[in-house]
Structures are given as C-alpha cells and as structure tokens.
Structure 1
C-alpha cells in the first residue's frame, strides 16, 4: 500500500457529504495520490451518504462561478480518483462537479465490483441527486457516465422519472452489451455453479500507456476479480433495457471505434432506437476508457461537448 494513500483511515474519518467541510489531511493525501490539483476549484469536499444499505463516498468541487453542475458516474472497476481529466475540464467550463464511487468500487462499501441487481444502482443515483439538492448545486444538472456509469444513466432516462433539474446526458462508451456477450452468457451459466468470482484480466483499454501502467500495477483501489454475481445482474438487465420504451431525450454519445470492451456497434443501434436523435461522436482511434484516453483524443471529444452544453 503506498504510504501516502490510507483508504481505511480515510473511510473511517469521513463525515457526511452534506457537511461540506474542508478536506482533512488524509483526504488531501488521497487527492494528491490521484494527482488532482484542485487549481480550478475554489472549494471542494469529500464525504459519505447512505443509500440502499451502502455507504457511498462522494466528492464535490465548485469553480469560481458555477453556471451548472456535472454529475459524474464512473465505469466498472473504476472510481472517482481516476477521473481528474473530466473533472478539471468540467470546472474549466464553469460547472460544479459531483462524483461518487459506485457500490463495491473505490472507497464505497459493498462486495468488490459486485452488485445483486442493477436496480441498486438506481437507488444510489437517486440518493446522490438528493445530496445534489442538499448542497444547492447549480442547475441544470448535466449527467455524465463512462461505460457502466453510462448504463446506469441509460436506465435512469428510459425507466426512471428524470428530475426537472436534469440537463444534458453525456454517455462515454456506454455499456449495454459487452463484447462477445453470447459467449459471456454461456460461460456464466457454467461457472456460476462452481465459482463466485474469476481473476480479472486487465485489458489495454486506452492508448495512454502511463494510465494503463497505473491501473495495472499501482492503483490500490483496483478490484482484481470479476464476481459472477455482477455478470448475472447484467444478464438480467440487458433484455430489460433493450425492451424499455423510447425516450424523447437526446443524449450526447462518444464512442471509440477501437473499443474492445463493449459491443459498440450493437449498442449504438439500440441507443439510436431508444432516444430521439442522439448526437454521436465516433473516434476511430479511441479505445474503451475514454475518460483516460491520450490528450489529443480527450480534446476532440471535449471540443464536441463544450458547445453543446451551453
């Protein structure tokens, strides 16, 4: 465990997010470990909230003058500490940012990288939006989700009742079906009777070699196993979301064509059917982890997003 990062001590000392107190020394060490500069934020806080039986760890940042808020949902195996590029871009746009670790991820409680039902993610998202209101975060609240975070937002838009405060929705390499989904389901049917998890295979899901080295070898918050329970929850969620009624909303979608994690061609067809005229940016060279792609690719999708968020 790196000396500067003390997850257990940090979690034990967390205050309710609504308190919005200055960062403690151990919270500042966490930010430094994940290379946040906070230079664009005049205030930030870190704390916890309870939702669906989980302790969820969330963080918020405010720029000098806030004109909207970005609510950020990370991808599977990820956590907020890996999303400084998106957070710093949002602060530069004049957006406050609210980000949180999903159950079983990062600093939040729960079996590592697992979930019993994708409906639990909706319970957590609803609780986070209540916190956004309690913090009086400026409206509109734009939603941004990478991969599984995108899946959660798709579910929210198609099957939930989006709040009036919600502005645009940004989907980055959104998950509906993963790549080789047929084979994955067959494997799940066999394995679930014998094992509760299998060793994770770290993939080259970005063109940024430094990022890949960090998550493969140096990030202590990375899960190292794939629980069969999560695959089972996804297996029940996919047909439900593909059968959901259409929405009049038009999300902004960014998709890398070198993505080897999700079945992006199928997923884009589903999203074009489910939403009214979604705006899609396809990046030929980009892999799956768009939030941590190389700077040139990040700049291309930031340039796409900025004028569309007003």
Structure 2
C-alpha cells in the first residue's frame, strides 16, 4: 500500500511531539488522512481512535499523550469530508456523505494502512459520537480489534419532541426535492466550537479544553466544519435505525455517557448497552458530550478505565493462546 506523507499539524496546542501522518486512498478514490504516535519502549498494542463529526486528528493530541504514556501506539483518522481529508462539496464548510456506509470504506483503508505500517497488535478501537456509529458497524462486520470502547456514541441523535418529526421530514423529503446538499433549517454554516461561548456549551465542562478547540480552529481555519447536509442527516438517521436492529457483538466493550448529553440519544445508548453480552455502561454525573475532554478529575479515570479494558482483553487473549 502506498503511504504518502501527509501534513501533521504538531503546532496545535496539546499535540505531543513524535507523531506522523499519511495520506490514504479509499476504495472509491477519496483521500483521507491517518495520524499516529509512538510510545517510548515496546508498545502494548494500538488504539484506533474513530473521531466524531467535525473532528480531526490533532484534536486528539491530549488523548495521544494519555495512551502513549500508558504504552500504546495511538492512531486517529480524518474521515472523508472533514479535517484535511477530501471535502465532498464545493462549500467546504458543510459536512456531507453520500451514503453512511461510505465511512466503512475509510475504515477499510485504515486497516490496510495499519497493516502496512505494522502497527503493533492487539488493536483496540474507541469511537466517539459519529465515530461510535462507524465503529459499531465496523466491529459488527469484523474489525480486527480485541476490545471496543465508545464515548457519547451516535447510536441515535437527540431531538426535542418538537424537532424530532420535523427532522425526519426534513431528512427524507428535503433530499428528494433537491435540497440534499443544503444544511437543514436552524443549523449554521459557522462551526459550533468557533461561535459558542463556554457558558451554555454542550461539549465540555472544562473551559481550557473548549479554548483549545477554539485555538486550533483559529490557527488552522481549514480544519473547521459546520452544519451537515440534509443527505448526511438522512443517512445518519437511517444508519442509527439499522444499528438498533442488530445484535451487539460478543466482544468486551466499555461505553461512557454523560448524564447531561444533549447531542446523541442517551436512551439508544442505554438500550444497546443493556443487551451487550460483555459490555458495561458508565454514566458520568453532570458529564457533557466530550467525555475525553471533560475536566482532569473526570477524564483521568476514564483513561484509566480504558487502559484496564484493553489490558484485560490482552490478558484474556494471552490465556487462550497459551
């Protein structure tokens, strides 16, 4: 596999030294980006980070520091249509995908790249928000990981009772009447992070983390992404419905959910985790959407629990192979 060097924006706040990035070509010829960091000493495995909508590799620099400090290689992805990956519409502010399953083509390219780079096994995956939906389908379809984890996974999208029927009508009929590449009503073409003050934000209770997100977009405005298209909304709703009808994989799983979550559907997460054979749901009191970017006293134990999950999965595998 040809792995061309890609820009790695290590000038952004919170991004540790020692990372590298590569351009990947998906099966349908979209250019995406993979970044990874190496720990000191012999690696204990590789953590694959599947980011959420609007996110990019460098936003997870602090998480890279947490995991490399625990001995893991840490790899993150720019999905199609965001970060420095190919944007899919002339108006690059708008998030778009043709079919939600196209993201699985990105996963396929990442797996091939991880093999070509010889990223150490065992592999583990963490899916955040939209990346939680992508990651869940990938695990269902055989992603070669030993354990999976999710934070605020998009297994359903939160709507108020008034907006729920309007959103479904907009998603399905708007795309049929030539409005598919436009953003839905009430949404903005300015990034949520860029325009939202700390007070009242629905991402994090840590002002330093929100400021880091803002600073990254000021330093690199090309990374910003605003509202999704109506087609993206239609596809996301359809994917959530599909996933809800599938059984949970027989794999160790740990999912974190903020009790104040207002972006994804908390009920869908609880229903999924109630029926996950080797799954555990941890609800964060007063937690918002970005569990890995909450205050240090919250996110520190989360990283510890993730390390425990991965360690236990590796030990279980070792016992089986002895």
Describe the superposition over 1:261-304 as per-residue Cα deviations: whole angstroms up to 9, x where unpaired: 1111222212332x213022110121001232222211121122
Q: Distance in 2 between matches of 1:79 and 1:299?
A: 22
Aligned position for 1:128? 110
Match of 2:306 in 1: 305
Q: 1:226 aligns with which of 225, 228, 245?
A: 228
Distance 1:121 1:53 in 2: 13
Ranked by relative contact order (alpha carbons within 8 Å, sequence separation 6 or more), the top structure is 2
* Conserved 8 A contact 1:146-1:291: no
User: CA deviation digits over 1:34-64, x for unaligned, max 9?
Assistant: 43132xx4xx321101003210111111112
In structure 2, the gaps of 5 or more residues are 89-93, 193-200, 312-322
2:44 to 59, 67, 70: 67
Aligned equivalent of 2:129, options 119, 124, 147 = 147
Matched, 1:47 2:30: no
Q: CA deviation at 1:306?
A: 2.0
**Number of residue pairs matched?**
281
- CA distance in 2 between counterparts of 1:249 and 1:170 reads 10
Alignment equivalent of 1:197, drawn from 161, 183, 192: 183
Say if 2:285 is the partner of 1:284. yes
Instruction: Note if contact 2:170-2:230 (Cα within 8 Å) is conserved in structure 1.
Output: no
1:185 matched to which residue of 2? 168
| Partner in structure 2 of residue 161 of structure 1 | 142
* Deviation sequence 1:208-248 (CA, Å, 0-9, x none): 22333454576111212321111011122122111123421
RMSD: 2.3
SS in structure 2 at match of 1:240: helix
Q: Is 1:85 aligned to residue 41 of structure 2?
A: no
CA distance in 2, matches of 1:215, 1:248: 35
Who is 1:18 aligned against?
A: 3
Distance 2:245 2:131 in 1: 20
Distance 1:47 1:162, change over 3 A: closer
Task: Work out whether 1:208 is the aligned partner of 2:190.
Answer: no
Within 2, Cα distance between the matches of 1:74 and 1:125? 12
Q: Which residue of 2 aligns with 1:243?
A: 245
Report if the CA contact (8 A) 2:13-2:212 is conserved. no
When the two structures are superposed, what TM-score results if normalisation uses the length of structure 2?
Answer: 0.80
Q: TM-score, structure 1 length as denominator? A: 0.83
1:100/1:123 CA distance change after superposition, 3 Å: same
Q: Distance in 1 between matches of 2:310 and 2:202?
A: 31
- Kindly indicate whether the alpha-carbon contact (under 8 Å) linking 1:188 and 1:232 is maintained by their aligned counterparts in 2: yes
Deviations 1:164-200 (A, max 9, x none): xx11111111111111154421333454436422443
SS of the equivalent of 2:121 reads coil
**CA distances 1:63-93 after superposition (whole Å, capped 9, x unpaired):** 1221100111101111111111211111011
Aligned partners of 2:15 and 2:60 also within 8 Å: no
